[in-house]
Amino acid sequence: MSSDAGGEHSLFEDFLSGKLEPVAAASGAAVVPPPSEDELAHQRIIGNLRRILTHQLRSESCTVLPAGTAVRGTGNVGEITYTPDLVVDAQEWDGTSAIARQPLVVFEVAIPGSERADFIGKWQIHRAAPTVGVHVFVDQEGVVITVRRRRGDHWEEESLADADDQIFLPTIHALVSLAEVYADAPPGGDESVDFGNVTLS
Q: What is the mean pLDDT of residues 70-84?
A: 80
Residue with more model confidence, 13 or 96? 96
Domain co-membership, 6 together with 85:
no
Domain co-membership, 78 together with 13:
no
Domain co-membership, 14 together with 113:
no
Task: Compute the distance between CA of residue 87 and CA of residue 135 in angstroms, rounded to an integer.
Answer: 10
Domain co-membership, 108 together with 145:
yes
In a domain, residue 118? The reply is yes
CATH number of the domain encompassing residue 86: 3.90.1570.10
In a domain, residue 198? The reply is no
Domain co-membership, 23 together with 47:
no
Task: Give the pLDDT band of residue 5 (cuts 50, 70, 90).
Answer: very low
Task: Compute the distance between CA of residue 163 and CA of residue 182 in angstroms, rounded to an integer.
Answer: 8
Domain co-membership, 179 together with 114:
yes
Q: What is the mean pLDDT of residues 83-100?
A: 92
In a domain, residue 196? The reply is no
Q: Which domain holds residue 18?
A: 2-31
Task: Give the pLDDT band of residue 116 (cuts 50, 70, 90).
Answer: low
Q: Is 38 in contact with 140 (CB distance < 8 Å)?
A: yes
Domain co-membership, 81 together with 20:
no
Q: What is the mean pLDDT of residues 149-177?
A: 93
Domain co-membership, 87 together with 143:
yes
Domain co-membership, 101 together with 176:
yes
Domain co-membership, 16 together with 110:
no
Q: What is the 3-state secondary structure (H, E, C) of the chain?
A: CHHHHHHHHHHHHHHHCCCCCCEECCCCCEECCCCCHHHHHHHHHHHHHHHHHHHHCCCCCCEECCCCCEEEEEECCEEEEECCCEEEECCCCCCCCCECCCEEEEEEEECCCCHHHHHHHHHHHHHCCCCCCEEEEEECCCCEEEEEEEECCEEEEEEECCCCCEEEEHHHCEEEEHHHHCCCCCHHHCCCCCCCCCCCC
Task: Give the pLDDT band of residue 199 (cuts 50, 70, 90).
Answer: very low
Predicted pLDDT of residue 70 = 93
Give the predicted TM-score (pTM) of the model. Answer: 0.74
Q: Which residues, other chains included, contact 29 with Cβ-Cβ below 8 Å and sequence gap of 6+?
A: none
Predicted pLDDT of residue 104 = 95
The pair phi, psi for residue 68, each rounded to 5°, is 95, 0
